[in-house]
Amino acid sequence: MILNKNLKNVLLVIFTTLVLSACSTAKKSADIEGDVYTGKETVEYLASGVPDRVFFATNKSSLTTASRATLRKQATFLRKNKNLNVTIEGHADERGTREYNLALGERRANAARDYLMTYGISGKRISVISYGKEKPVNPKSSPLSWSQNRRSVTVKVN
Amino acid sequence: MERSSTKLQPYRNAKRLNVIRYIFALLISFLYFSKSLALIEVDITRGNLDPLPIAVSPLHVDIKSEGYKDLKIKNLGDNIASIIEKNFKNTGLFNPLKKDAFVQKPDIAHLKPRFEDWRLIKAQALVTGKILIKDNKLKVEFRLWDLTAAQEMTALAFTTTPSNWRRVAHIISDKIYERLTGEEGYFDTRIIYVAESGPKNQRIKKLAIMDQDGSNTKYLTLGNELVLTPRFNPTNQMVTYMSYFRNMPRVYLLDIETGTQEVVGNFPGMTFAPRFSPDGKKIIMSFAKDGNSDIYTMDLDSRIVERITEHSSIDTSPSFSPDGKFIAFNSDRSGLQQIYVMRSDGGNVKRITFGKGIYGTPVWSPRGDLIAFTKMHKGRFYIGVMRTDGTGERLLTENYYQEAPSWSPNGRVLVFYRETKAGDRGEGFSAKLWSIDITGYNERRLSTKTDASDPSWSSLLSK
């Protein structure tokens, strides 16, 4: 009897845990997909419908399908505004060594630059700068803010 | 610092003093052969050591002393003794005894201690001294006594400008440490670091320099631009660091005395992660081009730039071996950050880290035998040391975030920085300097006026 009661309690705990964790992963997956931020919270716009930034997975500089779509919009925008030059800022999250993150930010900014160039934007119009982990957009120490900080941001310079 | 040293007349035949040396030999061999420790074990075993009880008598102030500027001569003997005590205490190897138990006046003890009386308060070593300020000069002498063997171990006198009194205390500390441990000290040294202030997402960073014990903080930049990773040259007069001056991230060279600074080399993109070669003639650093970072050196006299690595991966955080023959560096050519060693001409590249997790910031020990590093594994950060072929890895400390070890000049202690977790608006975030012995013992926070990161330890200033 007592054993049964205990078992029941255990099952209840397991069940609650499952429900709770299901909730938290459900919430997470709305904003992070495979370690890459997919939300809009920190995003600004170069023009209506043209997001200024793309996001990366931890230690990675490869562009996701969503990132490529964003960059194609940026390329279209830049083709329409021929006199506009941009700087692409590369950033990393705080969970890496400072020097490596400087290099990583540089690599991310260049990944975005290269993609814009394949869509016909002259490299002369695009400068890059890496800030490594020095300029987080979200100061919180959490997986969500880290994913928002792993980014490259296209900034108008004129 | 201008200083002349002369040996004091020894009180008696200063034979080699065996008891203390023996104790230290034991202690040191125990530390060296103790097994590699994860933090939890370190925590448990820390404090098992038996630090050497030492009495530092206040230095006797000669009554013939004259006034000097606003220096409080009356307290100078006490102040010098306090600095020596603090230095000793911070090593974790000594236990400086409380002064209220002292049994002899400073002047008499300095002439000839009553050994049996000092032994009564359980002291095993005694430091005594005398200071005199005359003609705007500070004359200091000190003696180190072995109380068990009832003998003088070492004695030294030197003269300097009175405003240098703090350095006098550090030099005395070094001499005593050297005599008792058989190793060079590290007290007459400075640490250059990045002083941080402001909210986490709008950090203001300045270059700062301080004495190893946290006093004499001076700021070398104003905080108008982001500065990172300062490192001393071998003579401690120059510093190489990275600055975002005019929003162009470049490696700079700064002369501490004159304040003049210049960009290192004429690179068309970001240069970063600079360090001096052991002879001080070159700066080694990373240069990023088209998203790829490789390692370069620039000769400071000839301005000749040499490319050392040529690889499509990130190559950064280079650090020369003390003989200048090898370079340890960080690369992700295997996929993730690992540590590699190559010849200083870039040949014979070998990966040396194969443990679980990823590795960064290799720094070669000034003794040449070890490489200190940062390791990241399962969301935790470790400072560790390994032999230069990657074997014998020992993790010294684990924390939420820490990195960037820098060696004390004698290769016994590492200083690094540690950051805390931040809340929703960045609250709770801090960055502080910490140090730990390479034995894994004696972890402690260094006092800094502000938050601090990227420490670099100088060599001995008075060598």
Closest-CA residue of chain A to B291: A107
DSSP state of B10: P
Per-residue pLDDT of chain B (463 residues; tens, 9 = 90+): 444 444 443 333 333 344 444 444 444 443 333 333 322 122 223 444 678 899 999 999 999 999 888 888 899 999 999 999 999 999 988 999 999 989 899 999 999 999 999 999 999 999 999 999 999 999 999 999 999 889 999 999 989 999 999 999 999 999 999 988 888 999 999 999 999 999 999 999 999 999 999 999 999 999 999 999 999 999 999 999 999 999 999 999 999 999 999 999 999 999 999 999 999 999 999 999 999 999 999 999 999 999 999 999 999 999 999 999 999 999 999 999 999 999 999 999 999 999 999 999 999 999 999 999 999 999 999 999 999 999 999 999 999 999 999 999 999 999 999 999 999 999 999 999 999 999 899 999 999 999 999 999 999 998 6
Is B360's CB within 8 Å of A100's CB? yes
Strand runs (DSSP E) across B137-226, as ranges? 137-146, 151-160, 190-197, 204-211, 218-219
Give the residue from A88, A117, A141, A146 with the most B CB atoms within 10 Å of its CB, the best one to mutate. A141
Q: Which two tokens stand for residue B194?
A: 């990045």
Sort out which chain B residues have CB atoms less than 8 A from A144's CB and list them: none
The correct CATH number of B190-457 out of 2.120.10.30, 3.40.50.300, 3.40.1280.10, 1.10.10.10 is 2.120.10.30
Is residue A30 very low, low, confident or very high in pLDDT (cuts 50, 70, 90)?
Answer: low
Q: Which of B249, B293, B379 sits opposite A129 (nearest CB)?
A: B249
Closest approach of chain A CAs to the CA of B193, in angstroms?
14
8 Å CB contact between B373 and B386: yes
Closest approach of chain B CAs to the CA of A128, in angstroms?
9
Is A99's CB within 8 Å of B317's CB? yes
8 Å CB contact between B405 and B370: no
d(C-alpha B282, C-alpha B240), whole Å: 11
Please report the pLDDT score of residue B359 as a whole number.
98
- Kindly give, in sequence order, each residue whose CB lies less than 8 Å from that of residue B286, ignoring residues fewer than 6 positions away: A99, A102, A103, B271, B272, B273, B293, B294, B295, B296, B315, B316, B317, B318
d(C-alpha A95, C-alpha A31), whole Å: 19
Is A104's CB within 8 Å of B314's CB? yes
Q: Which residue has the higher pLDDT, A103 or A2?
A: A103
* CA B31 to mean position of chain CA atoms: 19
Q: Which residues of B touch A (CB under 8 A)?
A: 199-201, 203, 226, 228-229, 247, 249, 270, 272-273, 286, 288, 290-293, 314, 316-317, 330, 332, 336-337, 360-361, 374, 376, 379, 401, 403-404, 419, 421-426, 429, 453-454
Report the complex ipTM: 0.88
Beta strand pairing status for B125-134 and B52-56? Answer: parallel
8 Å CB contact between A101 and A92: yes
Sort out which chain B residues have CB atoms less than 8 A from A134's CB and list them: 203, 226, 228
**Any idea which residue has 């000749």 for tokens?**
B304
Q: Which two tokens stand for residue B146?
A: 């072995």
Is B426's CB within 8 Å of A99's CB? no
8 Å CB contact between B421 and B400: yes
Please report the pLDDT score of residue B7 as a whole number.
41
Closest-CA residue of chain A to B374: A97
The yes-or-no verdict on residue A25 having pLDDT over 80 is no
Sort out which chain A residues have CB atoms less than 8 A from B316's CB and list them: 99-100, 102-103
In CATH terms, the fold of domain B4-181 is Rossmann fold (3.40.50)
Q: Could you tell me which of A69, A37, A68 has the C-alpha nearest to residue A149?
A: A37
Q: Considering chain A, what percentage of its residues have pLDDT values greater than 70?
A: 81
3-class SS string, B266-328? CCCCCEEEEEECCCCCEEEEEEEECCEEEEEEEECCCCCEEECCCCCCCEEEEEECCCCCEEE
d(C-alpha B87, C-alpha B95), whole Å: 11
8 Å CB contact between B57 and B129: yes
- Kindly give, in sequence order, each residue whose CB lies less than 8 Å from that of residue B69, ignoring residues fewer than 6 positions away: B162, B163
Give the angle B374-B227-A110 at the CA atoms, nearest 5°: 75
Stretch A90-115: mean pLDDT: 98
CATH match of A45-156 with 3.30.565.10: no
Composition of chain A by helix, strand, coil, percent to 5: 50, 20, 30
d(C-alpha A150, C-alpha A32), whole Å: 12
Give the angle A121-A132-B345 at the CA atoms, nearest 5°: 95
DSSP characters for A16-75? HHHHHHHHHHHHHHHHEETTEE---TT--EEETTEESEEE--TT--PPPHHHHHHHHHHH
Is A59's CB within 8 Å of B336's CB? yes
The yes-or-no verdict on residue A69 having pLDDT over 80 is yes
Is B314's CB within 8 Å of A136's CB? no
Q: Which of B272, B291, B379 sits opposite A110 (nearest CB)?
A: B291
Is A99's CB within 8 Å of B401's CB? no
Sort out which chain A residues have CB atoms less than 8 A from B296's CB and list them: none
Q: CB B43: neighbour CB atoms within 10 A?
A: 12
Please report the pLDDT score of residue A7 as a whole number.
52
Is B374's CB within 8 Å of A97's CB? yes
When computed from its CA atoms, the radius of gyration of chain B, rounded to whole angstroms, is 24
**Any idea which residue has 């919430």 for tokens?**
A27
Give the CA count within 13 Å in the CB-facing half-sphere of A138. 20
Is A94's CB within 8 Å of B419's CB? yes
- Kindly give, in sequence order, each residue whose CB lies less than 8 Å from that of residue B81, ignoring residues fewer than 6 positions away: B56, B57, B58, B59, B127, B129, B169
Is A100's CB within 8 Å of B199's CB? no
8 Å CB contact between B32 and B370: no
Closest approach of chain A CAs to the CA of B426, in angstroms?
5
Q: Which two tokens stand for residue B228?
A: 């990172």
Q: Could you tell me which of B366, B143, B290 has the C-alpha nearest to residue A123?
A: B290
d(C-alpha B199, C-alpha B215), whole Å: 25
Kindly report the length of chain B.
463
Q: Which of B272, B292, B336 sits opposite A99 (nearest CB)?
A: B272
Q: Where are the domains of chain B?
A: 4-181, 190-457
Q: Which residue has the higher pLDDT, B200 or A26?
A: B200
Closest approach of chain A CAs to the CA of B295, in angstroms?
12
Is A140's CB within 8 Å of B423's CB? yes
Dihedral of CA atoms B111, B116, B122, B125 in degrees, nearest 10, equals 40
Q: Which residues of A touch B (CB under 8 A)?
A: 59, 61, 94-100, 102-104, 106-107, 109-111, 113-114, 128-130, 134-141
d(C-alpha B146, C-alpha B55), whole Å: 11
Q: Which residue has the higher pLDDT, A79 or B50?
A: A79
Is residue A4 very low, low, confident or very high in pLDDT (cuts 50, 70, 90)?
Answer: low
